[in-house]
């Protein structure tokens, strides 16, 4: 049987590499497009060790229209694109907004242009729970009104969703699915791929892992005076492998005839506070996390978690990996990268 080809932009990165594994395991042929600005080719070797298959790799910047045209012409037999390629550091986006608009929206517009020109029908886009801002009601459903984004990064997700919706209206041959991720954590259970933050991590999970490994002295917990049951911020932490599988389900849903723009929350439906996550990590790994309470971080949403029922009803997907397994996989990966440094 001829394998169907999927273009995965940003496929060398954290979510893209796990999704490539899931796609290859599901029988798709993957071509990764990445400029390696926040990743390296080691992730490709990890994918090979897990699946036995090396995805095709194109070293390319999605904002380079001429190069994108050349690559899409070469892969015009692709049936779909999963577009991960973006910059994602919220703080950096405040300092360098134009970099974020140019990279995240310029890249997306080239992808949409190429899909239109080469008649590639299915797009899956990495959106984010950040589009809900500070929600009035929890859990958030896909119909919860979007709030003004609190950072240029968040704006690129809101604007990206709108750009895709407008393009789908204008191009009847294109259908798209927007996946709003909550907080992806963990690594592949094999320990072959995982998250590799550059410098000091901004996100909680890699910071916990580095504090556990002694790479960081102490985790700062940002605020204990929120209006939540224990005073700490609440998030919906979703296993990276569950998240990856949702992309396969989303692609199959498009292939089965879904039209227009489809939107899905990808979360577990369960909120965990920062302190609950620290305690769960300690229990899952037996390692104590040195931490101290500091002041709130500007821009943090007090609490957000998903209603992910629509994904279950329509995609037949739900998060299944228990939190303790996710935390153990994150720790296994951290130990491996600490050793290899
Ligand atoms: P990542 O940085 O690990 O992966 C992104 C990949 O895209 C990297 O390999 C990077 O080199 C590449 N890239 C960036 N700009 C590019 C460009 N112009 N051309 C080609 N390649 C480019 O990040 P991730 O965590 O895997 O995130 C993937 C997507 O999911 C992003 O769109 C991100 O905004 C979104 N997202 C992530 C999270 C999260 O917590 N990780 C949450 C919500 C949404
Ligand atoms: N936190 C700490 N200490 C740290 C890091 C984080 O206490 O060192 C706390 C934060 O205050 C927050 C929680 O841990 O309460 C989670 O913070 P993260 O930075 O890990 O995640 P966010 O929910 O703030 O944001 C993440 C991504 C965004 C994305 C959003 C929704 O960074 O890009 O999830 O998907 F938009």
pLDDT, residue 141, reads 98
The answer, as to whether pTM is greater than 0.95, is yes
Residue nearest to atom 34 of ligand 1 (CA): 88
Average pLDDT of 213-236? 98
- Token pair of 239, please? 């296993």
Q: If DSSP states are collapsed to H, E and C, what string results for 146-190? A: CCCCCCHHHHHHHHHHHHHHHHHHHCCCCEEEEEEECEEECCCCC
pLDDT in tens, 43-91: 999 999 999 999 999 999 999 999 999 999 999 999 999 999 999 999 9
Q: Which ligand is nearest to the CA of 10?
A: 1
Q: How confident is the model at residue 132 (pLDDT cuts 50, 70, 90)?
A: very high
Alpha carbons 117 and 113: distance in angstroms, whole number: 6
pLDDT, residue 277, reads 98
Say yes or no to pLDDT of 10 above 80: yes
pLDDT, residue 269, reads 98
Average pLDDT of 155-171? 97
pLDDT in tens, 194-222: 999 888 999 999 999 999 999 999 999 99
Residue nearest to atom 1 of ligand 1 (CA): 13
Say yes or no to pLDDT of 233 above 90: yes
Q: How confident is the model at residue 339 (pLDDT cuts 50, 70, 90)?
A: confident
C-alpha Rg value of the chain to the nearest Å: 19
Fill in the DSSP letter of residue 313: I
Q: For 145, phi and psi rounded to 5 degrees?
A: -60, 140
Closest ligand 2 atom, CA of 233?
A: 15
Cβ atoms of 197 and 203 within 8 Å: the answer is yes
pLDDT, residue 207, reads 98
Residues with CB under 6 A from ligand 1: 9-10, 12-16, 34-39, 61-63, 84-88, 103, 107, 126, 128, 181, 183-184
Separation of 265 CA from ligand 2 center, angstroms? 17
pLDDT in tens, 266-320: 999 999 999 999 999 999 999 999 999 999 998 899 999 999 999 999 999 999 9
Strand runs labelled E in 226-278: 234-235, 237-239, 261-266, 272-273
Average pLDDT of 180-198? 96
Separation of 194 CA from ligand 1 center, angstroms? 13
Ligand 2 contact via 204 beta carbon (within 6 Å): yes
Say yes or no to pLDDT of 234 above 90: yes
Average pLDDT of 318-327? 98
Decide: helix, strand or coil at residue 312. helix
Q: How confident is the model at residue 2 (pLDDT cuts 50, 70, 90)?
A: confident
pLDDT, residue 143, reads 97
Q: Confirm whether 305 is a catalytic residue.
A: no
Nearest to 112 by CA among 158, 75, 165, 67: 165
| pLDDT > 90: percent of the chain | 95
Report the mean per-residue pLDDT for the chain.
Answer: 97
pLDDT, residue 198, reads 84
Cβ contacts of residue 338 below 8 Å, gap of 6+?
Answer: 213, 215
Average pLDDT of 218-246? 98
Q: How confident is the model at residue 149 (pLDDT cuts 50, 70, 90)?
A: confident
Q: For 148, phi and psi rounded to 5 degrees?
A: -55, 135
Alpha carbons 178 and 155: distance in angstroms, whole number: 15
Helix axes 42-51, 14-25, angle to 10 degrees: 30
pLDDT, residue 152, reads 95
Average pLDDT of 124-143? 96
């Amino acid at each position: 049987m001829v394998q169907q080809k999927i273009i995965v932009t940003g496929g060398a990165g954290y979510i893209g590499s796990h999704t490539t594994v899931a796609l290859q395991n599901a029988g798709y042929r993957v071509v990764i497009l990445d400029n390696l600005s926040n990743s390296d080719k080691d992730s490709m070797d990890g994918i090979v060790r897990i699946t036995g298959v090396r995805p095709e790799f194109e070293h390319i910047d999605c904002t380079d229209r001429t190069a994108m045209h050349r690559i899409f012409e070469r892969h015009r037999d692709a049936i779909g694109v999963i577009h991960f390629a973006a910059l994602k550091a919220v703080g950096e986006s405040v300092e360098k907004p134009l970099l974020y608009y140019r990279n995240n929206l310029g890249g997306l517009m080239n992808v949409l242009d190429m899909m239109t020109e080469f008649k590639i029908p299915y797009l899956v886009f990495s959106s984010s729970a950040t589009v809900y801002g500070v929600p009035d009601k929890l859990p958030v459903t896909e119909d919860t009104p979007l709030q003004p984004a609190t950072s240029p990064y968040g704006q690129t997700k809101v604007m990206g969703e709108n750009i895709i919706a407008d393009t789908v209206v204008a191009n009847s041959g294109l259908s798209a699915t927007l996946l709003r991720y909550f907080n992806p954590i963990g690594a592949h259970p094999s320990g072959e791929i995982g998250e590799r933050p550059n410098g000091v991590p901004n996100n909680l999970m890699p910071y916990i892992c580095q504090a556990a490994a002694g790479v960081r002295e102490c985790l700062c917990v940002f605020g204990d005076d929120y209006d939540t049951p224990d005073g700490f911020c609440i998030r919906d932490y979703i296993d990276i492998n569950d998240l990856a599988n949702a992309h396969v389900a989303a692609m199959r849903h498009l292939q089965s005839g879904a039209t227009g723009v489809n939107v899905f929350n990808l979360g577990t439906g369960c909120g965990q506070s920062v302190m609950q996550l620290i305690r769960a990590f300690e229990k899952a790994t037996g390692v104590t996390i040195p931490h101290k309470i500091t002041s709130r971080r500007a821009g943090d949403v007090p609490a957000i978690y998903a209603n992910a029922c629509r994904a279950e009803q329509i995609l037949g997907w739900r998060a299944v990996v228990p939190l303790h397994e996710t935390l153990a996989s994150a720790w296994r990966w951290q130990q491996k990268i600490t050793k290899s440094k």
